[in-house]
Amino acid sequence: FFFFFFFFVKFIFNSNIFFSIFFPPITLT
């Protein structure tokens, strides 16, 4: 579970720019 969570978080950080386009206030969530 933690491994999946870590992978998801890493994906978000790697796609910070992509997420910031649609979810600016959730870029650092």
The mean pLDDT value for 1-29 works out to 65
- Contact of 20 with 27, CB cutoff 8 Å: yes
- DSSP summary character for residue 1: -
Distance, CA of 12 to CA of 5 (rounded, Å)? 11
With a pLDDT cut of 70, the percent of the chain lying above it is: 34
- Contact of 18 with 26, CB cutoff 8 Å: no
- The H or E element that residue 10 is part of is helix 2-14
Given a cut of 70, whether residue 8 has pLDDT beyond it is yes
Q: What is the pLDDT of residue 26?
A: 52
Q: What is the pLDDT of residue 4?
A: 78
